[in-house]
Amino acid sequence: MSICDIGIPGKGIWPAGRDEEVMFPVASMRNKFFSFLILIVSDLTGVLLCFVLAYSIRDYILPALFSEFKSVWLHPFSNFLDYYYMAFLWIAIFAYERLYTKRFSFWDEIRILWKSSTISFVIITVIIFMSRKQIYYSRTVVVLSWLLSLCVIPGLRIAVKILLTRLGVWKKKLIILGTNETGYLVLKNLKKNPSMGYEIVGFLGDDPEQIGEKFHGENVIGSIADLEDIINRYNSKDVVISMPDLSREKLASLLQLCEKFSESTWIIPQTGDLITTGIDIEKIGQVMALSIKKNLEKPWNILIKNVFDKLMTLILIIFCTPVLIVIPIAIKLDSGGPILFKQQRVGEKKSLFTLFKFRSMYVDGNSRLQQYLSDSPIAQEEWKKYRKLKSYDPRVTRVGRIIRKYSLDEIPQLFNIVLGKMSLVGPRPYLIEELKGKAAFTGRIAKVKPGITGLWQVSGRSEVFFEERIGLDDYYIRNWTLWLDIVILLRSLKALFSGEGAY
C-alpha cells in the first residue's frame, strides 16, 4: 500500500523502514500463511466458478434465448477440464502483480485484477489455438469466462478480505503521526477501503496537550515522543508520518525509531508551496526526484481519450433513447416553455460553446433566484460558497427536481460530445464569470475539453466547495489515465442512482 494508492490527491509519499512490501495482517507467520492460502483458494474458486457459469450459460440460457445457439452442438465440459491447470496461470499472474503480498485500495485492486484476468485470457486463447484443438472448445464459453472473471474474482477477494479482517486475521494495526489535514485524509481514505484491513490505533501529535482528545472520531493516544511505547503497547507495526513541517533532525530521529520497531513506514514529504496535485516520486540514479505530471496534455493520451469518448457516447445515446423521448414530454406537461436549456460555457482553449441540458428551471428562474437571495441572507451565503442552493431552489420545476437529482438533465450533453465540444469525463464546464480571478488554474483547465462528469461530481457533487472543484479538476488533468476515466464513470453511476450530493 502507498498513501497515493488510497486516493489522496496532491500528496506524494516516500517509503521508508524495512520490509515495506510485506503487507500481511499480523506479525505471526501462521496468520500470514493462512491469509496467503485463503486468498489463493478464493482466486482458484473464482476462476473455476467462472468456467462453470460460462458453460452453463452457453449450454442452457443462450439456446433458450437465441435460436442460433440451438443448432451448434456444445462439446462436453470434460474437454475444458483437460486444461484445469490453466487456473493456476491466474494465480501465477496475480502473484507476479503482488496481489498476495501487498495491500491495494479498492479501485487499484480492481484495475490489477482486470489486467491480470485479461492477460490470462489472452494466454489461454493462444494455448488452445496453438494446440490445434480449438474445434473442441466453444469460443463463447472462453469469452464468457473472461467477462465473468472481471466481476466474480474481485467480488470474492473483497468479500474474503472483509471476512478475514473481522476475524482478525487480515487486520493490521496502523498509527498515524500528525493531527492535521493530511493525517485526516489518510484516515478518511483508509476507512473508505475496509478490504485493506487496516485498523487505526490512533493519532500521535506534536502537542502533548492534545493527548486524550478526539481527532475526527479517533483518539489522540500520545505525542511523537511516545512512539516507541505506543508501537510496543499496541503491537502496531505500520506507521504513517504525515507531519510535513517536521524538522530534518526530528524526522531522522523518528525514522531511526521506525526502522527499529516498525515493519512499514510511509512519509508524506515537505513540499512547501510546490504544486502537489500531480507529482510522482522517481529516482535519477541514487537521487530521489519529484516528477510533475501533465498527463492530459500529451497528444497520445488525448487521442486515446477521444476514441474512448466517441465509442462510449454512441452506446449511451442508444441506451438512453427512451429517456430522450419521455423527459421532453414531461417538461412540456409540467411547465411549458422550451425543452432544452442552452448556456455559454468555457470549453477547450478557452473557446465558448453552447452547452445543452434538459430544462429543469422555470423560464423566469433568474428573477426568482434574485428575489429569494435578497430575502434570505443564509441563502446568499450558501450561494456564495457552493454556487448552488442545497435546501431549496426557487428556480427548479417539479420535473426538474427529479431529473436534476439523478442527473438526467445532463443527457443532452452527449450530443456536445458528438460535436467535439465535451468529453464524458473532464473538468466541469465553467461559466465565464466563475473562472474570473482563478488564473492559477484556468490556463491548465482550459487546455482540455470539459466533461459531463468528473472528480468533483463523484466527490460529493454539490457538497464540494467551489474552490475544491477547481483543485479536483486540476488533479484530474495532471493524473489522467484511461482507468481513472473508467473509475469515475463507474462511481458516477452510483452517484446518479443514489442521487448522492445532488440538489
- Check whether 17 has a pLDDT greater than 90: no
Which of 166, 195, 212 marks a domain boundary? 166
- Residue 477 cell numbers, joined: 488533468
Flag whether 467 is in a domain.
yes
Distance, in Å, from the CA atom of 442 to the CA atom of 349, rounded to the nearest integer, reads: 10
Question: Domain check: are 129 and 143 in the same one?
Answer: yes
Q: Say yes or no: 467 and 336 in one domain.
A: yes
In a shared domain, residues 419 and 287: no
* Position 402 in a domain: yes
Q: How confident is the model at residue 178 (pLDDT cuts 50, 70, 90)?
A: confident
Q: Confidence class of residue 135 from pLDDT cuts 50, 70 and 90?
A: very low
Rounded to a whole number of angstroms, the distance between the first and last alpha carbons of the chain is 36
Please check whether residue 461 is in contact with residue 363, taking contact to mean a CB–CB distance below 8 angstroms: no
Q: Name which of 470, 378, 392, 465 is nearest 429 in CA terms.
A: 470
The helix/strand/coil state of 174 is strand
Cα–Cα distance list, 436 to 14, 440, 442 (Å): 37, 11, 9
Q: Please write the tens of the pLDDT for every residue from 412-427.
A: 999 999 999 999 999 8
Domain assignment of residue 267, given as a range: 4-20+171-292
How would you classify the pairing of strands 172-177 and 198-205?
Answer: parallel
Residue 360 reports pLDDT greater than 80? yes
Q: Assess if residue 377 is contained within a domain.
A: no
Mark whether 101 and 212 lie in a shared domain. no
Q: What is the pLDDT of residues 299-339, one digit of tens each?
A: 899 999 999 999 999 999 999 999 999 999 999 998 888 99
Q: Which residues pair with 346 in a beta bridge?
A: 352
CATH code assigned at 254: 3.40.50.720
- Find where cell 443448432 sits: 71
Share the mean pLDDT of the chain. 81
In a domain, residue 466? The reply is yes
Domain boundary among 166, 188, 204: 166
- Clarify whether residues 266 and 412 are in a common domain: no
| Percentage, residues of the chain above pLDDT 90 | 27
Which one of 292, 313, 336 terminates a domain?
A: 292
Q: What is the mean pLDDT of residues 134-142?
A: 69
Clarify whether residues 137 and 257 are in a common domain: no
- Per the structure, the count of domains in the chain is 3
Give, to the nearest 10 degrees, the angle between helix 29-56 and helix 87-96: 130
- Residues of the chain with pLDDT > 70, as a percent, come to 82
Confidence (pTM)? 0.74
What gap in Å lies between CA 180 and CA 187, rounded to an integer? 11
Q: Which residue has the cell 472543484?
A: 469
pLDDT at residue 258 in the model: 83
Secondary structure element (H or E) that encloses residue 201, with its range: strand 198-205
- The pLDDT, as a whole number, for residue 80 is 61
Q: Do 473 and 325 belong together in one domain?
A: yes
Based on the domain organization, do 422 and 494 belong to the same domain? Answer: yes
Q: Answer yes or no: is pLDDT of 184 > 80.
A: yes
Per-residue confidence band for 461, with pLDDT thresholds at 50, 70 and 90: low
Q: Is residue 489 part of a domain?
A: yes
The reply to whether 38 and 120 lie within a common domain is yes
| Residues 211, 322 within the same domain | no
Phi and psi at residue 428, to the nearest 5°: -65, 140
CA 102 – CA 43 distance, rounded (Å) = 16
Band of residue 27 on the pLDDT scale cut at 50, 70, 90: very low
Are residues 214 and 283 both part of a single domain? yes
The answer to whether position 391 is within a domain reads no
Which three cell numbers, joined as nine digits, stand for 301? 493520451
Name the pLDDT band for 25 (thresholds 50, 70, 90).
Answer: very low
The verdict on residue 35 lying in a domain is yes
